């Protein structure tokens, strides 16, 4: 094969063949041959070569691991990404060393059998999560995609597909589950502790006070049996405002002690209101609230507010108990601030109860501050 310049001035690829005709004495008399223009074929071959180079580049540069194995599990081909995922320095090392993927790569051989059965049925495997074994014997999480390639007779020639390293994601999910489990345990412990406090306590987990939880004493104060879920009953600031009067009318938006603490970031003391209980009776209440610091919060990044309410008659009775029991001389209003309540989850219910009974039920601020510090 060679190139010839044709009459049109263009060079074409040609393939020639020929034979010689000789005289009786062996002298060559003439040559007889053919010339075929194979320019079209050469162009097709060049296009195919370029496509192969493109596919090879994709194969070599892909971020996901690409594999090809026999149905029995022998590794036929792998790209550099797969070698890196499995801890090998090159694809040659991977293909040479892994002669049995079932026993050398798969942490659980039944996983390989499962996806092999799926591919043998002509189905495509997508996002199958399992564990592989690296060269250093460490286990990693991967996501496997694959299909079976068959010949014209329908016989499976090999399995091929992609493998994605999802180990970081799986570890993050595991840490998240563990964190959520710890948060649920802390929340349960906090609920238990809050329910031992005889003073009504309200907690909002968002600055707008869209969701408010309360302890048993707060439900009793409303004259409502505690529902099974915190989402039942009056659970927002708006719903509470319909039950709390100030100067004979429903308290204005943003004027609940817990709302004011959320808006200003400052403690609020000595807010006199009237509470309408479930049975329609009225109780005069004194409300106090304080922001819950995000540095000690355990339920997210939002600032959280805490509030306490206490009836006037209870205030006077508890004030006397505190004065007699502890020689307390400060005004009782400054003792009801709910500061660092999340830190109470690190203490025990009995410890909080003993200290609250020893120092008086109103001395809640001193209890929480001493535990948090």
Can you give the pLDDT at residue 268?
87
Residues 33 and 91 in one domain: no
Domain hosting 328: range is 183-372
Buried b / exposed e along 298-310 (16+ C-beta atoms within 10 A): eeeeebbbbbbbb
- Measured CA to CA in angstroms, residue 164 lies from 62, 135, 183 at distances of 11, 17, 31
The sheet carrying 139-150 orders its strands as: 75-78, 65-69, 156-165, 139-150, 125-133
Q: Is 206 a member of any domain? A: yes
Rounded Cα–Cα distance for residues 140 and 166 (Å): 8
Q: What is the CATH number of the domain that holds 141?
A: 3.30.450.20
**Nearest Cα to Cα of residue 81 among 97, 59, 57, 65:** 65
Can you give the pLDDT at residue 333?
32
**The total number of residues written for the chain in this structure:** 373
Residues facing residue 290 across a β-bridge: 306
Q: Is 51 a member of any domain? A: no
Residues 333 and 224 in one domain: yes
Residues 275 and 325 in one domain: yes
**Nearest Cα to Cα of residue 79 among 54, 56, 96:** 56
Residues 122 and 258 in one domain: no
Helix (H), strand (E), coil (C) string for 121-156: CCCCEEEEEEEEECCCCCEEEEEEEEEEEECCCCCE
H runs (alpha helix) in 17-150: 39-61, 80-85, 91-97, 101-104, 109-120
Are the beta carbons of 318 and 328 closer than 8 angstroms?
no
Residues 337 and 210 in one domain: yes
Q: Is 65 a member of any domain? A: yes
Rounded Cα–Cα distance for residues 260 and 278 (Å): 25
Residues 359 and 233 in one domain: yes
Rounded Cα–Cα distance for residues 258 and 50 (Å): 71
Q: Is 85 a member of any domain? A: yes
**Could you tell me the two tokens for 152?**
């014209």
Rounded Cα–Cα distance for residues 204 and 195 (Å): 16
Residue-by-residue pLDDT tens, the chain, 373 positions: 778 788 788 888 888 787 888 888 888 888 787 778 877 888 888 788 877 777 777 788 888 999 999 998 888 889 999 999 999 999 989 888 888 888 888 999 899 999 999 999 999 999 999 999 999 999 999 999 999 999 989 999 999 999 999 999 999 999 999 998 998 888 788 778 888 888 888 888 777 787 777 888 888 888 888 776 655 555 577 777 778 888 888 888 888 888 888 888 888 888 888 888 888 888 888 888 888 654 433 322 223 344 555 555 555 454 454 444 444 333 333 333 333 333 333 333 333 333 333 334 444 444 344 433 4
**Overall number of domains in the chain:** 3
Residues 80 and 216 in one domain: no
- Which of 171, 196, 215 is where one domain is finished? 171
- Measured CA to CA in angstroms, residue 24 lies from 19, 21, 32 at distances of 16, 10, 17
Q: Is 201 a member of any domain? A: yes
Residues facing residue 65 across a β-bridge: 163
Are the beta carbons of 129 and 152 closer than 8 angstroms?
no
Can you give the pLDDT at residue 87?
93
Can you give the pLDDT at residue 194?
81
**Could you tell me the two tokens for 306?**
């805490």
Rounded Cα–Cα distance for residues 335 and 363 (Å): 5
Q: Is 249 a member of any domain? A: yes
């Amino acid at each position: 094969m060679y190139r010839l310049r044709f009459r049109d001035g263009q060079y074409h690829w040609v393939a020639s063949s020929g034979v010689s005709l000789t005289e009786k004495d062996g002298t060559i008399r003439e040559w007889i041959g053919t010339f075929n223009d194979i320019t079209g074929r050469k162009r097709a071959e060049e296009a195919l070569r370029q496509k192969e180079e493109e596919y090879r580049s994709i194969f070599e540069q892909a971020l996901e691991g690409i594999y090809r194995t026999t149905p029995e599990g022998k590794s036929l081909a792998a790209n550099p990404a797969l070698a890196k995922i499995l801890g090998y320095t090159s694809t040659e090392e991977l293909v040479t060393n892994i002669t049995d993927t079932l026993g050398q790569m798969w942490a659980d051989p039944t996983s390989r059998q499962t996806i092999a059965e799926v591919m043998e049925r002509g189905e495509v495997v997508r996002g199958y999560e399992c564990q592989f074994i690296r060269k250093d014997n460490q286990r990693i999480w991967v996501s496997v995609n694959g299909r079976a390639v068959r010949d014209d007779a329908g016989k499976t020639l090999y399995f091929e597909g992609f493998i994605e390293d999802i180990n970081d994601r799986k570890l993050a999910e595991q840490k998240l589950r563990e964190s959520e489990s710890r948060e649920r345990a802390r929340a349960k412990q906090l609920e238990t502790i809050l329910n031992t406090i005889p003073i009504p306590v309200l907690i909002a987990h968002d600055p707008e006070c869209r969701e408010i939880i309360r302890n048993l004493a707060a439900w009793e104060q409303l004259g409502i049996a505690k529902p099974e879920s915190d989402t039942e009953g009056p659970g927002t600031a708006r719903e509470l405002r319909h039950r709390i009067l100030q100067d004979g009318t429903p308290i204005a938006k943003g004027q609940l002690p817990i709302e004011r603490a959320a808006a200003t970031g400052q403690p609020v003391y000595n807010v006199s209101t009237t509470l309408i209980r479930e049975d329609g009776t009225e109780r005069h209440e004194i409300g106090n609230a304080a922001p819950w610091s995000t540095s000690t919060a355990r339920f997210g990044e939002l600032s959280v507010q805490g509030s306490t309410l206490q009836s006037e008659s209870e205030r006077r009775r508890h004030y006397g108990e505190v004065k007699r029991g502890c020689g307390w001389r400060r005004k009782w209003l400054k003792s009801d601030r709910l500061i660092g309540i999340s830190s109470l989850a690190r203490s025990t219910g009995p410890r909080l109860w003993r200290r609250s009974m020893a120092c008086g039920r109103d001395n809640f601020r001193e209890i929480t501050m001493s535990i948090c510090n």
